[in-house]
Structure 1
Amino acid sequence: YTMTLGVEPTRPATDYGYIRRGAALPEAEGAFAVARFVEKPDAEGAAALIADSALWNSGYFLFRADLMLAELEAHAPEVLSAARAALDNATTDLDFVRLDAAAFAKAPKISIDYAVMERTTRAGVLPVSFPWSDVGTWDAVWQVLPQDEAGNALRGRVEVLGTTNSLVHSEGEGLTTVVGLDGVVVVATPDAVLVTSKAQSGRVKELVGVLRARAHPEADAHRRMYRPWGWYQRVDIGERFQVKRIMVTPGGRLSLQKHHHRAEHWVVVKGTAEVTLNDDVVLVHENEAVYLPIGSMHRLTNPGKIPLELIEVQVGSYTGEDDIIRVEDIYGRSSG
């Protein structure tokens, strides 16, 4: 059997799916066959399901690998074929295994619930009663966080006045203040702010879709972006300039590249950088800088034993990530 854990409900939740249990499984003490999966019900439907001994669908699955492969072969062969092709054509760089993107993109967008669990005749459920939340919405996050006497969960630099039953989360140095509200979620980060009622916080996924449709980079680009060689973090951006903090792991090496629309200044603040600039290779130490003119061929390497950190100042008519012409890259990445 492919087993799932069904959580004993503690309230008629409308934000979880449910599992109706069937006959007991003689092969597994305390377990039952799955009779039916039920989508998120309304309050009346949730109460009726609980009265009928239905369980919350936790989304936890247990199965043998060979059994799941057989189920996928029978019920979702397109998913299995795409996954196998992506793995067969995967590449490795340092600690990363990168599945083949083109092959993986051919896999249908479908969850294991729909692909296998609702189609197989060998689905089982084991009732469990430990404390559980899928923490799938900001409301759910509020429920599991410690709260003050007014029912507020406050994190970071936050001050509230006349506010109750709310979650206020503030990152960075900025102070977030809320006055006279009840049942809200406020999440403030250095590059974006979310304000929603707890009741509507499950619509954040819809909001992200709108952001992507309108080409807002915050939908997908985090302030700190990880790469095979380390990471970079945007410090500031404005018209014709951008400032980044860059960390390169020991032995890490960026691509040999150039830019059509910007020049760069690198200031080393920790470690030692090996900088290739056209035909020259120089070592740049802490509190030293190097200038990379527009169109110059350049590369950054950390030849040392400690992480290399530097501040990069980009100046030019365009500072987007797609103005990177990679000539040589040990990680197999293309330009842009």
Structure 2
Amino acid sequence: MKVIILAGGNGTRLWPLSRTNYPKQFLKLKDMNKSIFQMTLDRSLKLTALNDIYIITNEKYKFLVMGQIEELGYEASKNNILIEPLGKNTLPAIYYGVKEIQREKDEVVVVFPSDHLIKDEASFTDTIFKGIGLTNNYLVTFGVKPNKPHTGYGYIKPGQVIGEGSKVDEFKEKPEYLSAQLYLEKGYLWNSGMFMFRTDVFAEEIKKYSPIIYNLFNNNDLKDFFEAVPSISIDFGIMEKSQRIAVIPMDVKWSDLGSFDSFYEEFPKDKNGNINFGKDNLVESKNNLIYTDNDKVVALIGVNDLIVIDEKDALLICKKDNAQKVKKVVEKLKSSGDPRLDNHLTTYRPWGSYTILEEGLFYKIKRITVLPDKKLSYQLHHHRSEHWIVVKGTAKVTVEGEEFFVRSGESTYVKTGFKHRLENPGKVNLEVIEVQLGEYLEENDIVRIDDDFGRNSNY
């Protein structure tokens, strides 16, 4: 069995927690030891070996994927991390993965989104294995048994029983509440977005129902394929058209964390229905979700059904039943070019991370964390100088070819235009305060001369 994990989505409906350059699947929320992507990888490893898992993502998430795999103690294989040149929805991405797998032979493949929370993992694994027999003749989807009417999920109507599942009579788009109630009464299932099939059967259905994708892939290189192919979901392109679709019911606690109302359902609540990731300072308030990324005191008095998401550079407050409208805020931020749509104050790189502590017109102050045995690229800047103060660990610094060590409490200075590199030769994280001075302080003022990670962009 092979597994395809889709890890290219940007999860903007969970803004400001999830942002374009560090979306929800890579987040580690408070009290979580692993990211949602890492949990997905762990579940996949109960089905098959690491070398049989293919992760489809894009260039800006490539090193996030590799870093989070390595953090779990595994060695990430670059051959199994497939990079989409452009995001064109799920069907082109999945077909890309299928064609890579078919290079060896036809196989049974399971497709998982990387941003789902699933409990009852033993039951989940058993259900996946039970569906293998259906893949000889069907494309299999997994339908989660609903526990309430939900307007944020699509629905599947099961039909004739076959083996461990049923033929699919109909797919339904996200409904209004009354329709969702009716679907629940009639035994419909939530459409989980998880699939299983044989690669040869999938290719046959692609050729029949999405011939443009089939022909473009077989007659173009990868870049040209993604530029030419339409943006299309697997549901619309194949599942809603094919006559060879089966659904297997899955009785697990599941959420795609698609919005903050889904988010609210997944975490423990106090006796008043509140979820508070910070200190408890709620007075006469019920059914609220409060999340802050630091130790700030958030107090609510006499309010109910609110979502309060407090990040250092952004604050979201909305009624819980308006959580789906976060996408309207995202649209406004996008139209105005606001960088807070894309970036947190902390930015992750393959060598570690940096956090912007303060910035002004001609200066920027960062906290840089370099992981053990990692180093930044050998680089220069045309428009800024940098002053480094080591606060933890020992830094190996290279400036214009000269190497020297800077220890905790010591500092060094890099002039504008000088080639330089920061490296952590130690076994604990290196912490450095960087003060940038100059008339232009953006990340695209980097000229890379040498880079361990083969980067030719600012990611």
Sort the TM-score into its range (normalised by shorter chain). Answer: 0.7 to 0.9
Moved more, 71-80 or 187-196: 71-80
* Counterpart in the other structure of 2:300: 178
Q: 2:270 aligns with which of 131, 143, 148?
A: 148
Question: Does residue 336 of structure 2 align to residue 198 of structure 1?
Answer: no
* Counterpart in the other structure of 1:327: 449
User: Aligned partner of 1:6: which letter?
Assistant: G
Q: How much does 1:183 deviate?
A: 1.0
Contact 2:347–2:353, Cα closer than 8 Å, also in 1? yes
* Counterpart in the other structure of 1:13: 150
- 1:113-262 matches, within 5 Å, as 113-262=235-384
Q: 2:178 aligns with which of 35, 40, 44?
A: 44
Q: 2:412 aligns with which of 260, 266, 290?
A: 290
Q: How much does 1:199 deviate?
A: 0.6
Tell me the number of residue pairs that the alignment of Structure 1 and Structure 2 aligns. 321
Q: Deviations over 1:242-298 (max 9, x none)?
A: 121212233322222222222111112233222221242222222211101222221
Moved over 6 A (4+): 80-86
Q: 1:264 aligns with which of 367, 371, 386?
A: 386
* Counterpart in the other structure of 2:159: 22
Q: Which of the two has greater strand per residue?
A: 1
Moved more, 166-175 or 270-279: 270-279
Compared with structure 1, are the counterparts of its residues 253 and 108 closer, same or farther at alpha carbon in structure 2 (3 Å cutoff)?
Answer: farther
Distance 1:82 1:255 in 2: 37
Distance 2:304 2:446 in 1: 47
Q: How much does 1:334 deviate?
A: 2.8
Distance 2:409 2:213 in 1: 52
Contact 1:6–1:19, Cα closer than 8 Å, also in 2? yes
User: Aligned partner of 1:7: which letter?
Assistant: V
Q: How much does 1:167 deviate?
A: 0.8
* Counterpart in the other structure of 2:95: none
Q: Deviations over 1:62-95 (max 9, x none)?
A: 2234433444454446667888999x98xxxxxx
Contact 2:278–2:296, Cα closer than 8 Å, also in 1? no
- 1:32-71 matches, within 5 Å, as 32-71=166-205
Q: Which of the two has greater helix per residue?
A: 2
Moved more, 45-54 or 118-127: 45-54
* Counterpart in the other structure of 1:97: none
* Counterpart in the other structure of 1:92: none
Secondary structure of 2:329's match?
A: helix
Larger radius of gyration: 1
Contact 1:158–1:168, Cα closer than 8 Å, also in 2? no
Distance 1:302 1:105 in 2: 40
Instruction: Work out the percentage of aligned pairs sharing the same amino acid.
Output: 39
Contact 1:85–1:104, Cα closer than 8 Å, also in 2? no
Compared with structure 1, are the counterparts of its residues 106 and 257 closer, same or farther at alpha carbon in structure 2 (3 Å cutoff)?
Answer: farther
Distance 2:408 2:214 in 1: 51
Q: How much does 1:185 deviate?
A: 0.2
User: Aligned partner of 1:20: which letter?
Assistant: K
Contact 1:325–1:335, Cα closer than 8 Å, also in 2? no
Contact 2:158–2:247, Cα closer than 8 Å, also in 1? yes
Structure 2 residue ranges without an equivalent (≥5):
1-137
* Counterpart in the other structure of 1:95: none
Q: How much does 1:172 deviate?
A: 0.6
RMSD: 2.8
Secondary structure of 2:281's match?
A: strand
Structure 1 residue ranges without an equivalent (≥5):
90-99
Compared with structure 1, are the counterparts of its residues 2 and 214 closer, same or farther at alpha carbon in structure 2 (3 Å cutoff)?
Answer: same
Distance 1:72 1:296 in 2: 54
* Counterpart in the other structure of 2:439: 317
Distance 1:258 1:62 in 2: 48
Q: How much does 1:142 deviate?
A: 1.6
Distance 1:176 1:168 in 2: 8
Contact 2:155–2:191, Cα closer than 8 Å, also in 1? yes
Secondary structure of 1:4's match?
A: strand
Distance 2:255 2:428 in 1: 41
Q: How much does 1:20 deviate?
A: 1.4
